[in-house]
Structure 1
């Protein structure tokens, strides 16, 4: 961890503690203590989302060479653990998966191409999920600045569209090829790898069924994430509708992605839970309890994920 990442992590942790402390801390603690082992159950409710994400990612890899579904779920577990707990700008997990899958003997182009396309399509599926969350929030009667929100979403769709167009245009191979020419063919291996990656991506986009299925499965995974909110609210002693659970999960995920530079979205996520809980008709202290429950999920699922990553590296 570099100094900038450490500084951001400490600042975010302080902000998260401050947000929770500003609520009725005794009430928050009482609610969490009463939930007991149910908090672990809420954390485990995230597993269906991981399985769906693994299936979505598998759609982008050749059927004859993709890992089994349990193997893909293992990779998603490591990927989320690294991206959520380490200051890597939410991309370090992809590098870890690439390294481990290459060690398993998988070819570079399908692994790298599947990862890149999966990240690009996740922008689209998450924007659709955020739109659903905003629609549910609007239907609940909340006053929204629709102009600014729609402008932000439009910008997000433009970003996703440009990213996919860049991947389809084979720019990576062209740029590295030009650099290799300037370097008098000293980067021939890198240029050949980039060329193969571009070929794989071009072939992938020419088969629209695979990217479409990946996007649909990713959207299903975002929806499954709302199960975690719904279960958490139940074990914390309140009942929310599935619509409110989807709304909270959609907008929390959007906030966390927007704050990608902050390790684990520390501080931003806590403030978001408190604000969205109020919009859903819950007490602010319940929002703080939900925020703590989400952090407990990180401990229950992702700390073992980092340990599993270390085990996989040593085994390799």
Structure 2
């Protein structure tokens, strides 16, 4: 049976919650409401696929859970205890960023455009995929010959898409590739001034932006490698920047926090969220106009 899975981890959402409650903004419907994190940022069988026997396989979702449990634990030492960064915390932040980029709604939204590339890349990767080799063995009683999995993947491209297997394969590939890209990067911590407004997050938590072209995220067809700004809000009062050279940690003014929040808004496909005590004017660009539009839509 298909089940709902969090594509933004509950443990991550807790960094922005009050009593496990957040304010969820729907950009499409122009609504704001307080919800529990258990019911926010979930999608049916987001990281599962249906195999040839009709059985739903959620191996990847279980792996996501394992990564989340380890990485969020190490990340919290920085976000909650205000501790200094160490090697484990840096690797944890990179893993959380890569994971949430791979299964972000911006990646999923771009899937129809990327499907030919996804299928081709997935076909190349199938040869070394132990899970698919095991499935092949169970179904046919032998191990696949060289090139056989790749040929099946190409021939069955539509099946891969319909079963969500192509999406699962794409997420695995994007996660691993993102970790490779992030490996040489440094982590800079950005904190708001004490007592001032905090950060928000969205359905595509890793914000990749190019200040020259003004493009933001996969929705603008911006690749990680073409970005000059990589931001990952980690909690209400802390954000991480992945940088090519080592930068000092900084405390920033409310206007810069608002600018980062507005980039988060641009990064979102549909949903943005913030702590219940945050004023939405620091989260939603042109908030008064947005409210007017929401009111007129409800009339």
TM-score (norm 2): 0.30
**Greater relative contact order structure (CA < 8 Å, 6+ sep):** 1
Higher strand share: 2
Higher helix share: 1
TM-score (norm 1): 0.29
